[in-house]
Amino acid sequence: MLNEEKASLLDAVRLFSIEKEEPEWMRAKRLDMFEKYETLEFPLMERISYHRWPLLETNISVEAYGEELENSQGLQYEMNNNPKLVQYGKVTLMEQLPQHLIEQGVIFTDLFTAAQEYPELVKEYYMTTAVKPEEDRFTAFHTAFMNSGVFIYIPKNVVVEEPLEALFIQNAHVKESFVKHVLLVADVNSSVKYVERFETDGAEKNNANVVVEVIAKSGAHVKFSAVDTFGENTSVYLNRRGHLLNDSTIDWAIGVMNDGNVISDFDSDLIGDGSHSEIKVVAISTGKQVQGIDTRVTNYGKHSIGHILQHGVIMDRSTLTFNGIGHIIKGAKGADAQQESRVLMLSDKARGDANPILLIDENDVTAGHAASVGRVDPEDMFYLLSRGIPKAEAERLVIRGFLGTVIAAIPIKEIRDNLVEMIERKLKKA
């Protein structure tokens, strides 16, 4: 980047920070990573070639608040009594939190608002625990250019029965980087269900950089569900990571239903003894898109459990890569790391990889993996066709059955239904 161009961009970053009234510690972290991000290495993702994608574009829009609201007019999103937050681009359209949760100390609000109103709480966890700014070029870029986000805090011993819902809509009517941060902290012995959806409105070519940090403190239970449907003109880096302390649990259920090129990093660090993470991922790749998914569980704690279940479908000329990494660290006695990654191919021109990696540094453990890439069973197709079912519909039935094993394991009915709708949408476009 030329010196003049960098100076101009730095001015824009400073101005954005001032406009958002960021505390000094957040601004300092942002400006520090602005100076460093271009010097850091890219993350290593096996069998995924992404370095030519426009993932590091630095488009800072001067879109006014009123104009973003105007672009958002006509959008449909469900209104109900659940805790809910809707963001369009950088603007929060809606925040809804029932009074009884407010009285219990639950926080569910825009990240910049949280940094002003709960500065010490945000400072303690924002890119200090689950994801660190200097890990690689993408995390540093994220810290420098983060332009919207959400903060969720569940106090000690609070059990939230109704799911918290977040809808994030990328404003692709303008040329603007979509750099979103989600920070969820479940304090000691708390419990929460959280559901998030990513969508794109508009067709402008943009990049997206999303970091999600979930901190589950001792005895906390988090059910995290997500459906990602970024548009075909958006190149995406998506990092979701859990940090689990003693006897905590995070159940991840993620639907990767994007239309453009995506690299995703889904990680769980099982720091505490008895911590437990289940990661379930379903994905469909169509057209010419490339989707690469790294799913990693690292067992640090004794008797920690990390399971990965991934099923994906590839069609047309698309590519889908599953890298499953289970790493048991020395000292994690009694740990369990299991993974299953399966890819179903419905085209001779598609490419699929299911790449299992086990790294075991301790003896007294249990670990295993299963991986496969294959085509539709001819006997299944023959049976369906012999019953008079058209080929396209027969393929859809086979796909639903293949992905259904994972979808059925998702704990929240609304997300299961939403995933089925997204699968149908993807298959109709293919």
Say if strands 148-154 and 107-110 run parallel, antiparallel, or are unpaired: antiparallel
Find the mean pLDDT for residues 339-364: 94
Between helix 24-36 and helix 137-145 the angle, nearest 10°, is: 140
Asked whether residue 422 is domain-assigned, the answer is no
Q: Indicate whether 302 belongs to any domain.
A: yes
| Sign of the C-alpha dihedral computed for residues 244, 185, 231 and 177 taken in this order | negative
Count of H-run helices and E-run strands, the chain: 10, 19
How much is the mean pLDDT over the chain?
93
Please report whether residue 292 resides in a domain: yes
Q: pLDDT higher for 260 or 413?
A: 260
Written as one string, the DSSP assignment of 338-398 is EEEEEEEE--TT-EEEEEEEEEE--SS-EEEEEEEEEEPPHHHHHHHHHTT--HHHHHHHH
Please classify residue 5 by burial: count the beta carbons closer than 10 Å to its beta carbon, then call 0-12 exposed, 13-18 middle and 19+ buried. Answer: exposed
pLDDT at 183 over 80: yes
Q: Is residue 428 part of a domain?
A: no
pLDDT per residue as tens digits for the range 10-42: 999 999 999 999 999 999 999 999 999 999 999
Which residues sit opposite 275 in a β-bridge? Answer: none
Average pLDDT for 201-209: 97
Give the number of domains in the chain: 1
Indicate if the pLDDT at residue 144 is higher than 80: yes
- Alpha helices in 136-246, H assignment, sequence order: 137-145
pLDDT of residue 65: 52
Which band of pLDDT confidence, cut at 50, 70 and 90, is reported for residue 53? very high
Q: What predicted TM-score, i.e. pTM, was given to this entire model? A: 0.95
Q: Residue 386 domain-assigned?
A: no
Residue 216 confidence (pLDDT): 99
For residues 268-283, give the mean pLDDT.
Answer: 97
Q: What is the pLDDT of residue 377?
A: 80
Lowest mean pLDDT among 84-88, 325-329, 363-367, 421-425: 421-425
Cα three-residue angle 271-275-276, rounded to 5 degrees: 125
Is residue 383 assigned to a domain?
no
Range with the poorest average pLDDT among 129-133, 146-150, 374-378, 407-411: 407-411
Does residue 147 fall inside a structural domain? yes
Residue 412 belongs to some domain of the structure: no
Domain extent for 107:
3-375
